[in-house]
Amino acid sequence: MPRLQTAADLEKLRTEILAARDPAKSCIAVCAGAACDGMDSAAVAAAFVAEAGKLGDKIEVRPTGCHGYCEKGPNVVVTPGDICYFEVQPTDVPEIIAATLQGEVVERLVYKDPNTGAKAVHMHEVPFYKHQMRLLIGDNPKIDPMRIDDYLAVGGYAALVKALTEMTPEQVLDEVKKANLRGRGGGGFPAGSKWETTRNAPEKTKYVIVNGHEGESAAFMDRAMLTGNPHKVLEGLIIGAYAIGAQKGFMYTRHDMPLLEKHVRQALAQAKEYGLLGKNILGSGFDFECELHFDVGIFVSGESSALMRSIEGNPPEPRPKYIRTSVSGIWDKPSNLNNVETWANVPQIITRGAEWFTSIGSEKSKGTKLISLSGNVVNSGVVEVPMGTPLRTLVFDIGGGVRDGKTLKAIHFGGAMGGSIPADLIDAPLDFDGMSKLGAPIGAGGLLLMDEDTDMVEVARYLMDFLTQESCGKCVPCREGMQQMLHILTRLTEGEGKAGDLERLEDLVEVTGAASLCALGKTSGDPLKSMFRYFKPEYEARISDQAAGGSAAK
């Protein structure tokens, strides 16, 4: 493939790719997302390739990233028609191929409502998908992440063309600011303002970074996005770099996901080959390159300043942020870091405009949000809904409620530094500020359901145990404060609670929160705060029970 010299070259290539494709030709998309891959979807894909191979060129088989409905993997989607098959085994393959050739459906493999038995054949009828708005993740079944042509076929890099040929960097920045795109990594900070700070920083050398670390336990939407559609994230990054005036980008992601690494490497190589990275991109005069970096297995390296230390080749210890990383980051140069999902939102804002984007979502949180739905839920998976969607929709309409017929006790958001709210707050809307006020900030978007059997003291102990292992140890309040909290919580769960324990915990939460260097320590007590707010009787029972000589530990 010769390097594309101009925007017109790219559009010509896109026309050629589309012309060579027959939309009526059947295509079987086999999910290779984290859960499906774990259920050996690779064997299913191999069976499809072998079986379809016997037919010559009649049916295309496409390995793809995460479709979303992880609970029912391995997932298979047949187009045209978006026919969804669930829990597909290699032995089902000949039947699916035969039915596809006949234009028929394999009834036994389609969705069946567990209560009514009603079947749903097409994606838009399956309850899990029906209530979603899949602007970001929706392309995943249409794309083989190893092929840039698949991304071009769904309109990929059109936003980059528009930004480079029709817009000045200032206009791109303005559009993102007007869209009020807020950071999806946890803070909800406006991306446009952050970009502007880096853009206005006096240094000439600037960097942009994709934070694809996703160390939060039970969060898996970023890797679904980045593994399944790496070019969308890259396109957002290149557009951002253009607006900010950065010459170099870094993708920082997990080292322990072989497919993720493979897809991102390939995406970067293909983008370079096509001339979407490198010197004079599409003849615009804009130069940009991007390097891939990996975390080395510690949670705190997802914190922005720690992540930047890690890219420099140093241990990932956070630093105080008197000066923001957007002014002084990697090698003390202005460095703008955004999360995978934030970058993935950029292309559509450029293509469809800020006005369109702000028409979706709640008053202060715009667009859609990717959610990792898991825990004691019937339908776990990657979900995308407009901001402002009531939690009830997520939990019941999409999630199908609580597993094993149990009742919902709590909803936990935001992983180890998030919070839990009781089931009666289920009508709260998914909104950055609203959820923060309730004490369960959205964080990166991991939503866990906890059923009636959940021991909330044990949950807090578990989360604290996780954080103590992940602290970098640099600052004392975090290192020691969390140890002490863990110590007390462990005692409580083991039936050794003492009078004064809860007051001591409250003290520790406050001091650790006020005195720690980075967000890990600062928010380490957040789950406990939410517990004390909503589930305090459970904690008090541990003290009084034990004072009376009984044990409340399960």
Q: Binding string to other proteins for residues 39 to 78, with x set by CB under 8 A, is what?
A: xx-----------------------------xx-x-----
Q: Is 447 in the site for other proteins (CB under 8 A)?
A: no
419-422 vs 335-339, strand pairing mode? unpaired
Choose, by CB under 8 A, the member of 99, 462, 504, 553 that binds other proteins: 462
Evaluate whether 49 touches 61 at the Cβ level (below 8 Å): yes
Choose, by CB under 8 A, the member of 304, 412, 432, 467 that binds other proteins: 412
Residue (of 94, 87, 77) closest to 26 by Cα position: 77
Q: Is 456 in the site for other proteins (CB under 8 A)?
A: no
Q: Which stretch binds other proteins (CB under 8 A): 33-41, 49-57, 83-91, 427-435?
A: 33-41
Q: Is 313 in the site for other proteins (CB under 8 A)?
A: yes
Q: Binding string to other proteins for residues 470 to 489, with x set by CB under 8 A, is what?
A: --x-----------------
Q: Is 220 in the site for other proteins (CB under 8 A)?
A: yes
Choose, by CB under 8 A, the member of 65, 228, 302, 415 that binds other proteins: 415
C-alpha pair distances (Å), 497 with each of 206, 363, 465, 502: 53, 45, 17, 9
Helix (H, G, I), strand (E, B) or coil at 93: helix
Q: Is 310 in the site for other proteins (CB under 8 A)?
A: yes
Choose, by CB under 8 A, the member of 208, 257, 383, 486 that binds other proteins: 257
Cβ of residue 216: shortest distance to other proteins, in angstroms? Answer: 8
Cβ of residue 72: shortest distance to other proteins, in angstroms? Answer: 8
Q: In degrees to the nearest 10, what's the CA dihedral of 485, 490, 495, 498?
A: -20
DSSP string of 32-88, one letter each residue: -SHHHHHTTHHHHHHHHHHHHHTTTTSEEEEEES--S-GGGPSPEEEETTTEEE-S-
Location of structure tokens 């407009």: 386
Q: Is 196 in the site for other proteins (CB under 8 A)?
A: no
Q: Is 391 in the site for other proteins (CB under 8 A)?
A: no
> Residue 19: is it exposed, middle or buried by C-beta count within 10 angstroms (0-12/13-18/19+)?
exposed
Residue 411 φ then ψ, to 5°: -115, 125
Using the minimum distance from each CB to other proteins, give the nearer residue, 85 or 357. 85
Choose, by CB under 8 A, the member of 367, 381, 386, 443 that binds other proteins: 381
Evaluate whether 367 touches 345 at the Cβ level (below 8 Å): yes
285-288 contact pairs (CB < 8 A, 24+): 286/164, 286/242, 287/247, 288/238, 288/241, 288/242, 288/246, 288/247, 288/248, 288/249
Q: Is 86 in the site for other proteins (CB under 8 A)?
A: no
Residue 263 φ then ψ, to 5°: -70, -40
Structure tokens of 197? 């700070």
Evaluate whether 63 touches 43 at the Cβ level (below 8 Å): no
Using the minimum distance from each CB to other proteins, give the nearer residue, 280 or 469. 469
Q: Is 420 in the site for other proteins (CB under 8 A)?
A: no
Q: Which stretch binds other proteins (CB under 8 A): 124-132, 201-209, 351-359, 376-384?
A: 376-384
Using the minimum distance from each CB to other proteins, give the nearer residue, 159 or 485. 485
# binding residues, other proteins (CB under 8 A): 47
CA–CA separation, 487 vs 492, rounded Å?
9
Q: Is 135 in the site for other proteins (CB under 8 A)?
A: no
Cβ of residue 70: shortest distance to other proteins, in angstroms? Answer: 3
Q: Is 175 in the site for other proteins (CB under 8 A)?
A: no
Q: Is 341 in the site for other proteins (CB under 8 A)?
A: no
Residue (of 252, 281, 276) closest to 264 by Cα position: 252
Q: Which stretch binds other proteins (CB under 8 A): 38-46, 79-87, 171-179, 477-485?
A: 38-46
Q: Is 526 in the site for other proteins (CB under 8 A)?
A: no
DSSP 297: S
CA–CA separation, 287 vs 323, rounded Å?
28
Structure tokens of 66? 């995460």
Choose, by CB under 8 A, the member of 80, 258, 537, 550 that binds other proteins: 258
Q: Which parts of this chain interact with other proteins (CB under 8 A)?
A: 34-35, 37-40, 70-71, 73, 214, 216-220, 223-224, 255-258, 293-294, 296-298, 310, 312-313, 315, 372, 374-376, 380-381, 412, 415-416, 446, 448, 450, 454, 462-463, 466, 472
